[in-house]
Each structure stands twice: as C-alpha cells, then as structure tokens.
C-alpha cells in the first residue's frame, strides 16, 4: 500500500557518495524498495541526527532549513512514513498496537523479569519504529505540560516562559482561542478533528455534575482542574494525522537538497576519536542472528545528535562507551565517559482502562474496530470523499479532564500519597494528578467482547513516583536490553489511580449513554458489595439482539444486569467503597495498569554529580560534539501526553545548535504551499 516513491535515501547532493546495494540495508517491510535497487548514501555530512521521531524531525528539519549549505542527515531505524495511509488516516491508529509480525511500526519492550508490584505480570511498553516516531503511530491527543513542569527542570534556558515562544512556533492551532498561548502557521496542525461524537457532550455534562468544571482551553499551561473537548494532531483541512515527518521533513525536502534521509538503518553506536563524536555506525535493522552485524559508517564533521527516544538513546550511548563504567567493562566496551545515570530513572504515565456498555444508538467506532465490512467501507468512503469532516478524521477521543484531589479527598489517599502531595503537588497548583479521556468505543480486543456499543475511560497518572531502568546486555545492537519498567514500584502510585477510577466511574454512571459495566474488565468486588459491577441492562440487551433466544437466560451466565435505563433513578449519590473494595481496586490496578506510551527520563539533563547525563545545552558529559534531543533528557516528569513536549525538545535543540553555529531558525518552516 505504500507509495513507490519511498526510498531509503532519495536525494543526491554535492557530497561524495557511497553506493550500497539495498541488500546491505534490506527493508524489513515487504512494501518498501525492491532489494535490487541501488541507493546512495552520503559518506560524510555536517550533522547526523539519529532517530526520526518528533524531537529528531524537529531538530533535523529546523537545522537544514536554517542553512541550506549545512548537510544534515536524519537516520531512522524504521520505514519511511511518507504518504503511508496507515499513518495519515487518523482513525486507524488502534492497529499500530497490534502485536503481530506484520506490525513493524512498533518495538515492544517487555519487562525482563516478572514484577511483584504487578502481581507477577510483565509490563509491555511499545515504542515507535518508523519515521515520525511516536507521532506516526500515536493516538493524536493534544495536551501540553504545565508551566511548573519546565521550571522544575531547574536548568537555565528551560523555564516555561523561556520555552513558550517555541511551544507556539511549532503549532498550527486551527481552533479559535481566547488567549495568546497557541501558535499558528507552524509545522504541526492541531484541531478538533473531523467529528466530535455526542458522547463527548454527555461526558462533559456528567463531569460537571460531579463538580469538574468545563473550560475552553485546558492546555493554557496553568489550569489543572477542569474538562474540555480534547484537540487532536489532525489537520482540519486535509483530515490527516499531523506527524512530525510530514511537518518538518517531507515538505522541506521538496525545496532543499541538504536534508538527507536514511530509513531502515539502525544506529549501532557513535564513533569517537578520543572523546569527540565523529560519526555513527549503523546496521541493517533486521536481526539475522549474527554476533556482530555488518556496520556501515557515516562521518559527522560537526555534530551527532541522538534522538532515538527514551528507550533507544540510552542503548546507543551504552554501546558507544557512554554509561556506567562497570557495566561497559563487563560487556567489553571501551569506556568513553563514565555516566552511571544513563538508562536510569525511566518514567512513564500509568493508564487503567474502564470500559462501559453504551446504548445501542450511541455513535461509536466499535463496528469499525471489530471489522464489520459494511461499516468499514462506509467510513473509508466518507474519509475519501470528505476527509475534513469524516469520523475517521478523528481518534474518537473527544473530551477529557485534568484533576487534583480536594482537601477532603486527600484524606482518603493515604500517607504515601499525602507525603508525595506535600512535597510535589501542594505548592504547584498547575500540576494535575490524574488525566481522564473518553473514547467513543471499546479500546480493547473486540474478539474478547460481547456485541454492542461501548465507551472507554482512559485514566492516567501524570507524575508517578515509581522509576525503572533500561540497560544493554550486549554490544550487539540486536540484543534485547534488560528492561525494568518499574511500574507501580512505589506504593504512593496506587491511591491516586484508585481515586481516578472512582471519579471516572461516577461520571460514567451519570451519562445518558450508560447501560452498565463491562464486568469482565472491572475489578472483582465481592458480589454483595454496593460497588459490584453490573452487566448490560436487559432492555438494552434485547434491543441489541432482538431475535436472540437466550437474552436474559440466567443459568450459566452469572449475569447481574443493571437496572433498565428508563426506570433507573437519576444518579445522585456516589458509590461508597469499603476497605475490601479498595483492595479489589488495587489488585485490579496491579493486574491491568499499562503504559501510556509516554516514556521519558533515561538520560537526564541535570548535574553530573546527581546522576545527570546532559548539560543544559544537551551535551553529553565527558564527550564533545555529541548531544541528545528527545524525551530521555527530562530530569522530571511532564503532566501531559508527550508529543508536544518531544517536539519542544527538538525545537529547543535546534535553537541551541543554531546559536552555536551562528544561525537562526527560520519561520515559516516551509513556504505555505508546501505544508501538508
């Protein structure tokens, strides 16, 4: 399905070239270049950016645009995403999370050991493996970190107010807005998407009933208590996903010949002369089982920038001799810089999903997701004919909230969380504790669900106290690392998730569309508990299967139907949970909590003596000509879906390098006509 114009490297320049057979870089997806094609790769450039995620695309694109004589190479392990419909069609994003050999867009990191904090489970953290990085496969939700998050980096030049102009510079915000905090004309489009399903209004009304106020801009960098219609990384003109490569890379390459792109090339290590980074060695991304896969080297005259993501960058550093000396020596890697902080302090946000039954007339994406052919054909046709207004020009994640507990609620959240609250949240009113989003449909494997309509509440903890780590186990770039997600390793993280669960459930119960719990996915409360989950009500079940002979048959189903909607009294009181119920919720959290795909923090920008890896100009301590620009640089968490922050790190890195080279970032990034 991918366009034949896709190539590993497509553009000749005035530089000398090495000719390689594509065989040496055999594409790992069946739909890229045929293996007989000859491709040309620059032997030497000025700057190599390793990893084409949001931060890497922003860095490489901005630098190449700043000076058309600067030769910039963007090296990416995954396939090119240009004009790939499975990327640019917003509504098919769920597919990117399928664990299937045909899905090469993601690398799945799995805990090396079973976790006692997850009751013996191993967490699984997918990471992008495609040009555009996470922005090619993510859920397209637009949110932004709070001002104090950046201030908490405690690094000169990185305060929230320092970064605000860059936050605006990257945006093409397409909605009317009543403040001056968003940008227009930037490479990344943000809008409400093609459609907002009525469930969003239902949700916002119910949220208001439990005291969560509506706001028209929850992304104003300070509001931490409120609900809104979520914006999306989707253009309201084209109806397409706004990923970083289509924002910063592809349109610029149509105008300038100094931005080189090499996909399907996995960086093995940085090449040093002494402490100075002078190039990058890369290998074929397909693991052919060799102990020492064949390396190709590209030289960098000025700089190497690692942007391979929170889980990729520390591995490249360690393979290059930058990391904890004892580990490197054990693996036979010569030490360039002894930095024990590399790969440490891994962080994420923690999601639990609550799924509820919805009335049969609710507009959801369930039939599309479960593969109903007629629905799929109708929605694909709608997307083709009116992409700016189609249901598929959306992620169906239309509304959400940010929330902080009240004084009263804090009393229920236990000593561990209260200690964290006093230390971390109390004096920073712009930091939300929990996020929640409503998805119009079941975000789940539909083969495991009964027929019908659903809505899902995504609840996620924004500033977990838990920490994990990632470290290589071999110099071979294909060896799996030792990964410890650290999920829920701090007890302080259970209480806010439990609190968030209760809040989301109260909102769901008050929604007009609510028709019961999806009991198979709910906590295992005692059947006699007031909190016990209740199945779809029988009226809704009969509407769903009007010819069904077994609807309402009790024996063998263990069904506990909800009260029918028409006779159910309006919900006024919250469910009261006992200590036993809370235990059931905590066990459910341990059994179900997942990544929010917001990995950060493994190469922290903080003082070396505190375990830091980078200085404020993103230089790797103990080396020269080597920088890191991706979310691994974060010394602390960011209360947001992290695409915006990754772009911001790339924009900041571009500014830093431009200043060092005596250049200036140019806006607009490309002439208006070239923007996609």
Ligand X SMILES: Cc1cc2nc3c(=O)[nH]c(=O)nc-3n(C[C@H](O)[C@H](O)[C@H](O)COP(=O)(O)OP(=O)(O)OC[C@H]3O[C@@H](n4cnc5c(N)ncnc54)[C@H](O)[C@@H]3O)c2cc1C
Question: Which sequence positions are flagged as catalytic?
Answer: 598
Is residue 458 involved in binding ligand X (CB under 6 A)?
no
- For residue 74, give the nearest of 159, 11, 144 by alpha carbon: 11
Token readout for 614 is 């980078």
Is residue 631 involved in binding ligand X (CB under 6 A)?
yes
Which residue of 8, 33, 42, 53 would you call a contact of ligand X, by CB under 6 A? Answer: 53
Strand partners, 279: 271, 299
For 143, 176, 177, the CA distances from 180, given in Å and listed in that order, are 16, 11, 8
Which 3 state secondary structure label does DSSP give 56? helix
Please list, residue by residue across 546-561, b when 16 or more beta carbons sit within 10 angstroms of its beta carbon and e when fewer do: eeeeebeeeeeeebeb
Is residue 90 involved in binding ligand X (CB under 6 A)?
no
Is residue 630 involved in binding ligand X (CB under 6 A)?
yes
Which residue of 90, 133, 441, 464 would you call a contact of ligand X, by CB under 6 A? Answer: 133
Min CB(204)–ligand X separation in Å: 19
As annotated, the binding site for FAD includes: 597-598
Please list, residue by residue across 172-181, b when 16 or more beta carbons sit within 10 angstroms of its beta carbon and e when fewer do: bbbeeeeeeb
Which 3 state secondary structure label does DSSP give 613? coil
Is residue 483 involved in binding ligand X (CB under 6 A)?
no
Contact indicator for 478, 287 with CB cutoff of 8 Å: yes
x/- string (CB under 6 A) for ligand X, residues 245-284? ---------------------xx-----------------
Min CB(218)–ligand X separation in Å: 14
- For residue 602, give the nearest of 317, 337, 346 by alpha carbon: 346
Which residue of 250, 505, 510, 598 would you call a contact of ligand X, by CB under 6 A? Answer: 598
Which residue of 45, 50, 438, 457 would you call a contact of ligand X, by CB under 6 A? Answer: 50
Q: Would strands 482-484 and 259-262 be described as parallel, antiparallel, or unpaired?
A: unpaired
For residue 322, the 8-state DSSP code is: E
Among 25-33, 48-56, 169-177, 459-467, which window interacts with ligand X (CB under 6 A)? 48-56
Which residue of 160, 183, 309, 601 would you call a contact of ligand X, by CB under 6 A? Answer: 309
Is residue 307 involved in binding ligand X (CB under 6 A)?
yes
Is residue 400 involved in binding ligand X (CB under 6 A)?
no
Radius of gyration (C-alpha) of the chain in whole angstroms: 25
Is residue 146 involved in binding ligand X (CB under 6 A)?
no
Is residue 51 involved in binding ligand X (CB under 6 A)?
yes
Residues that bind ligand X (rule: CB under 6 A) add up to a total of: 41
Min CB(408)–ligand X separation in Å: 32
Is residue 135 involved in binding ligand X (CB under 6 A)?
yes
Question: E strands, 185-307, where?
Answer: 188-190, 226-229, 231-232, 259-262, 266-273, 276-283, 296-306
Is residue 55 involved in binding ligand X (CB under 6 A)?
yes
Token readout for 215 is 């706001």
Which 3 state secondary structure label does DSSP give 292? coil
For 11, 19, 464, 575, 624, the CA distances from 22, given in Å and listed in that order, are 15, 9, 44, 62, 32
- For residue 145, give the nearest of 352, 435, 419 by alpha carbon: 435
Among 75-83, 334-342, 354-362, 366-374, which window interacts with ligand X (CB under 6 A)? 75-83
Residues numbered 528 to 567 that lie near ligand X (CB under 6 A) are none
Min CB(422)–ligand X separation in Å: 29
Is residue 139 involved in binding ligand X (CB under 6 A)?
yes
Nearer residue to ligand X within complex by CB, 349 or 675:
349
Is residue 312 involved in binding ligand X (CB under 6 A)?
yes
**How far, in Å, CA of 588 to CA of 578, rounded?**
15
Binding site for ligand X (CB under 6 A): 50-56, 75-78, 97, 126-130, 133-135, 137-141, 266-267, 307-309, 312, 316, 597-598, 630-631, 641-644, 646
């Amino acid at each position: 399905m991918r366009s034949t114009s896709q190539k590993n490297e497509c553009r000749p320049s005035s530089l000398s070239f090495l000719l390689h057979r594509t065989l040496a870089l055999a594409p790992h997806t069946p739909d890229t270049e045929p293996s007989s094609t000859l491709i040309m790769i620059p032997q030497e450039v000025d700057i190599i950016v390793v990893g084409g995620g949001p931060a890497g695309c922003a860095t490489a694109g901005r630098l190449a645009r700043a000076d058309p004589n600067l030769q910039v190479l963007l090296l990416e392990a995954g396939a090119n995403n240009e004009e790939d419909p499975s990327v640019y069609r917003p509504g098919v994003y769920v597919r990117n999370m399928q664990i299937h050999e045909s899905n090469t867009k993601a690398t799945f990191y799995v805990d090396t050991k079973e976790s006692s904090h997850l009751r013996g489970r191993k967490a699984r953290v997918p990471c992008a493996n495609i040009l555009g990085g996470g922005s090619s496969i993510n859920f397209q939700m637009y949110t932004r970190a709070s001002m104090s998050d950046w201030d908490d980096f405690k690094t000169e030049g990185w305060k929230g107010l320092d970064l605000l102009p860059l936050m605006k510079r990257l945006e093409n915000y397409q909605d009317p807005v009543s403040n001056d905090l968003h940008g227009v004309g930037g490479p990344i489009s943000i809008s409400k998407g093609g459609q907002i399903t009525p469930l969003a209004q239902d949700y916002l009304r119910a949220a208001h009933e439990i005291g969560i106020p509506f706001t028209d801009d929850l992304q104003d960098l300070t509001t931490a208590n409120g609900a809104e219609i979520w914006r999306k990384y989707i253009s309201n003109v084209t109806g397409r996903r706004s990923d970083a490569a289509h924002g910063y890379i592809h349109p610029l390459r149509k105008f300038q010949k100094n931005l080189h792109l090499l996909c399907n090339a996995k960086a093995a290590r940085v090449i040093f002369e002494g402490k100075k980074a002078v190039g990058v060695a890369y290998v074929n991304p397909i693991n052919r089982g060799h102990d020492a896969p064949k390396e190709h080297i590209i030289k960098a005259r000025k700089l190497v920038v690692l942007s391979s993501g929170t889980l990729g960058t520390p591995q490249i550093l360690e393979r290059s001799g930058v990391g904890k000396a004892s580990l490197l020596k054990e693996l036979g890697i010569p030490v360039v810089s002894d930095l024990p902080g590399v790969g440490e302090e891994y962080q994420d946000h923690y999601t639990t999903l609550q799924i509820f039954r919805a009335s049969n007339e609710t507009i959801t994406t369930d039939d599309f997701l479960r593969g109903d052919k007629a629905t799929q054909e109708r929605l694909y046709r709608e997307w083709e004919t009116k992409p700016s207004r189609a249901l598929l020009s959306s992620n169906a994640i239309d509304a959400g909230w940010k929330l902080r507990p009240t004084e009263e609620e804090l009393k229920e959240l236990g000593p561990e969380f209260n200690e964290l609250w006093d230390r971390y949240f109390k004096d920073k009113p712009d930091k939300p504790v929990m996020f929640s989003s409503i998805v119009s449909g079941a975000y789940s494997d539909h083969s495991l669900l009964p027929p019908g309509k659903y809505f899902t509440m995504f609840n996620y903890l924004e500033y977990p106290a838990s920490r994990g780590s990632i470290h290589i186990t071999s110099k071979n770039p294909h060896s799996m690392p030792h990964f410890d997600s650290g999920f829920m390793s701090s007890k302080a993280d259970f209480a806010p998730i439990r609190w968030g669960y209760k809040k989301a459930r109260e909102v769901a119960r008050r929604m007009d569309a609510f028709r019961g719990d999806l009991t198979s996915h709910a906590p295992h409360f005692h059947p006699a508990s007031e909190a016990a989950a209740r199945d779809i009500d029988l009226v809704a079940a009969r509407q769903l299967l009007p010819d069904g002979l077994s609807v309402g048959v009790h024996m063998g189903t263990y069904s506990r139907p909800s009260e029918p909607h028409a006779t159910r009294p309006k919900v006024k009181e919250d469910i009261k949970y006992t200590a036993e119920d809370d235990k059931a919720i905590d066990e459910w959290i341990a059994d179900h909590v997942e990544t929010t795909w917001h990995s950060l923090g493994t190469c922290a920008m903080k003082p070396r003596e505190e375990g830091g890896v980078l200085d404020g100009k993103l230089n790797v301590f103990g080396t020269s000509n080597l920088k890191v620009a991706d979310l691994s640089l974060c010394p602390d968490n960011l209360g947001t879906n992290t695409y915006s922050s990754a772009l911001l790190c790339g924009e900041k890195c571009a500014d830093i390098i431009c200043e060092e080279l005596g250049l200036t970032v140019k806006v607009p990034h490309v002439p208006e006509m070239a923007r996609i």
